[in-house]
A and B are shown apart, each in its own frame.
Chain A
Amino acid sequence: MNSIFELFQYQFFNNAVFAAIMASITCGIIGSYIVARRIVFISGGITHASFGGIGIAWYMGLNPILGAALFGVLSAFGIEWLSKKTDVRQDSVIGILWALGMALGIIFIYMTPGYAPNLMSFLFGNILTVSSLDLFLLLGLSILTILVFAMFFKPILYVAFDEEFAKTQRIPVQFISYLMIALVALAIVLNIRVVGIILVISFLTIPQTIANMFTKDFKRMIFGSIGFGLLGSFIGLLVSYKINAPSGATIIFSFVMLFVIAKLVQLSLIAVRRREGVKEAK
């Protein structure tokens, strides 16, 4: 137990804890929206499309995360815009953007002279090497996300639930949709540094799915997801330190373990309730 507290003497570990908190907040809020609205596949598309931005920014000598942010938001807007046109099959477009982003990323990174040492950290993430710029961006995004949800919680919920009805009530549905998809893209891109492109989607879906097992209320689902996000990322962080494995992978693995435990708890709760129900019926 002592060794855990000793860890806080290290700057890198404090940074990692801070990053885990920010990631849990942003992913907890945005992920609940993604899961409730069933746009997990769209989010996967945005995640992989943003790799193109990383590659181009790398080639041009710019900050890769900023490149990914721009690319991610633009492809998110593209998907949102296309999905409003009824004659386009949205999932096919996402499939194309998904592959295009990865291809562009790889092409540009290979065209860049010299070695690309941090490439693995974009694919799998490394919470132990997050920079102060990453932390600063994550903090900014957390504040922005909390503000947007605090101000527009009801319209966001109602537009997500029944867009057509919201339109009949003269709510600025388009504004809300674009705002939300931009936040989704930013949450994905900024958390790439923490858990990586390949794993970020699970940070946005597993804590939310666990929370959704125990509550069907959107607000509680958000708080539950943040809680499970914190729990899973701390366990993952410690395991990563202990066994010296990439933190992204250990965090996601601990999420899945939490999911399995939660499912067992849920099933036994249902069994107990059923047995009590049978007793009452007798």
Chain B
Amino acid sequence: MNKLLELKSINAAYDDTLVLKDVDLVVKENDFVGIIGPNGGGKTTLLKVILGILKPISGEIHVNGSTIGYLPQINQVDKKFPISVRDVVLSGLMGVKKLFGRYSPENRKRANELMDQMGILHLKNKNIGELSGGQLQRVFLCRAIISDPQLLILDEPDTYVDSNFEGELYDILDQLNDHIAIVIVSHDVGTICSHVKTIACVNQTLCYHDSNIISQEQLKAYNCPIDLITHGEVPHRVLKHH
């Protein structure tokens, strides 16, 4: 299997605070990796390093293939910005089009197809400020995958959306996973564990679990103060004593 992404002994810091210590991670084709960990554990920092937004102080990053599709947290953008849904979706092509590129009719057709698939085609001329959280999330998902990336990275896509959309989102991701490797960060361990194939727990160091089942003992060992879930036909979670 092809390696799409490889991180080797990454150390990353903000000023003098070390956030990631000696982190290794490999993402291969068809992977569906869930990244979990406590607040301040370095989840977002890890994404920033992978995406090339933050330069690590040491370590190697290898990205194979085309651009990486990225879905940021939706509160990261200005919802009153004068931009239409269609323009946001097409902006996912800027990595391919570079500075001077113009959109071809195929690009526009592809954008329409994606918006249709996600059920937001009727909103294409709307300003993003007129959308609900779930609709905006779909717009961003279209933007993330319009360039046909081999790797898709999602930063807490389940925040600010209702559980109804959350279910739909994971259905969409399951379909996408047929041809795209996915890395997803979430604080909602219960939901992600029932969808991802493998789990990585980040708390300064990274611990990779080669399955989507983790035990309370493992969590303790890696110092992860989070809820534990167990798997079955119906996913349910067991909370710690309190």
Q: Which of B14, B15, B88, B127 contacts A216 (CB 8 A)?
A: B127
Interface flags, A131-162, vs B, CB<8A=1, else 0: 00000000000000000000110110110111
Q: How far is the CA of A88 from the CA of B83 in the complex (A)?
A: 29
A217 B84 Cβ-Cβ under 8 A? yes
Q: Which of B79-135 contact A (CB under 8 A)?
A: 81-84, 87-88, 91-92, 94-95, 97-101, 127, 129
Q: How far is the CA of A161 from the CA of B128 in the complex (A)?
A: 11
- Residue of chain B at shortest CB distance from A155: B99
8 further interface pairs, Cβ-Cβ under 8 Å (given A157-B91, A170-B67, A171-B94): A36-B81, A161-B77, A165-B143, A168-B51, A168-B95, A169-B67, A216-B127, A217-B127
Q: Which of A54-78 contact B (CB under 8 A)?
A: none
* Chain B residues whose CB sits within 8 angstroms of the CB of A171 once the complex forms: 94-95, 98-99
Task: Give the A-binding residues of B (Cβ under 8 A).
Answer: 14-15, 51-53, 67-68, 70, 72, 76-78, 81-84, 87-88, 91-92, 94-95, 97-101, 127, 129, 143, 147
Q: How far is the CA of A83 from the CA of B157 in the complex (A)?
A: 28
A217 B77 Cβ-Cβ under 8 A? no
Tell me, rounded to whole Å, the shortest Cβ–Cβ distance linking B141 to chain A. 13
Q: Which of A155, A166, A217 contacts B82 (CB 8 A)?
A: A217
The yes or no answer to A240 lying at the interface (CB within 8 A) is: no
Q: How many pairs of A and B residues are in contact by the CB < 8 Å rule?
A: 75
Q: How far is the CA of A171 from the CA of B94 in the complex (A)?
A: 7
A160 B81 Cβ-Cβ under 8 A? yes
Tell me, rounded to whole Å, the shortest Cβ–Cβ distance linking A266 to chain B. 15
Q: How far is the CA of A154 from the CA of B83 in the complex (A)?
A: 11
A164-B53, A167-B52, A171-B95 are known contacts. Are A216 and B129 too (CB-CB below 8 A)?
yes
